[in-house]
Amino acid sequence: MSTPGSCRSIVSTEEQRANYKASAEKLLPVGYNGSYNAVVQQMNSHRAEETRQDIAVWKDELRDEDQKYMDKALTSRAAVLSGRSNAEMAKEEVLRAKQMEAEEVMKESKRLHTIARKSLDADQKAKNERAAQSFDRRYLTIDEMVATLQMFSPEVASLTPRSYYTMEPESRSPSGAYLRPFKNLSNQVAKENAALYARIHNIAARTDVDISDEAAGAARHIMAAESDAEKKETAKKLAAQNKVFHRRIANTKAKVDAGYDETTC
């Protein structure tokens, strides 16, 4: 028989197995069920978690890069828009300056045109006044003419030029004794006009109604024959000239070929 101390030192196989299992479970990760699949699942879970973390970090980095790119793009676009706005403002300033210059030129042109117009009007007015004064000096009014004629006899008045007195048509009466050289002048003009009208009235129109259709056809046939003959004669002359030109060209070519020496090339 064994003593109690010796019984305590002896451990059964089942107890040893239970102790080993307990110590082993302390070393294994949580969720281990004693199979290989559980370990693989645990490892895959850790790897998936790491992958998710890496993806999250990668997305954050991409987001940061995109934000930096967008910031740079916005800055560049703002610079371009600022430059464009500056260029447009410069163009507007140039256009405004040109418009102001054009308005000033137009105002100056109007002012000069007004001055020129006034000068021309004043010059024309002076010319008209000089012409009126010259007319007054050269011609007489009807009252002055009557007073002048009363001082002369009809014979002397008839020898005086008509324009010396007046230009008013009312004073050109053929009954006056001072207009005897111009008597019956209107009758002569009427006779010449009647003769001219008679000549115009007697002019006959030259149309196809003056000839018959047979005569017109014969005339056209004759004209066509003459035209054909003229064309044939012209064609013969051109053919003869072409032969002469071809002969000259052939002679020139023969002379050139005869004078050509291959040894000199």
Local confidence band at 232 (pLDDT 50, 70, 90 cut-offs): very high
Position 30 pLDDT exceeds 50: yes
Instruction: Summarize pLDDT for 172-222 with one digit per residue, the tens.
Output: 444 444 444 445 555 666 677 777 777 777 765 555 555 667 777 788 889
Sorted by where each begins, the domain ranges of the chain are 62-138, 139-207
pLDDT of residue 261: 57
pLDDT of residue 236: 92
pLDDT of residue 231: 92
Instruction: Summarize pLDDT for 45-99 with one digit per residue, the tens.
Output: 777 888 888 888 888 888 888 888 888 888 888 777 776 677 777 788 888 888 8
pTM beyond cutoff 0.95: no
Q: What is the dihedral of CA 235, 241, 245, 247, to 10 degrees?
A: 100
- The better pLDDT of the pair 255, 2 is held by 255
pLDDT of residue 191: 76
Question: 204: which DSSP letter?
Answer: P
Question: CB within 8 A of 164, min separation 6: which ones?
Answer: 139, 140
Local confidence band at 25 (pLDDT 50, 70, 90 cut-offs): low
DSSP-assigned states of every residue in 110-169 = HHHHHHHHHHHHHHHHHHHHHHHHHHHHH---HHHHHHHHTTS-HHHHHTS-GGGT---G
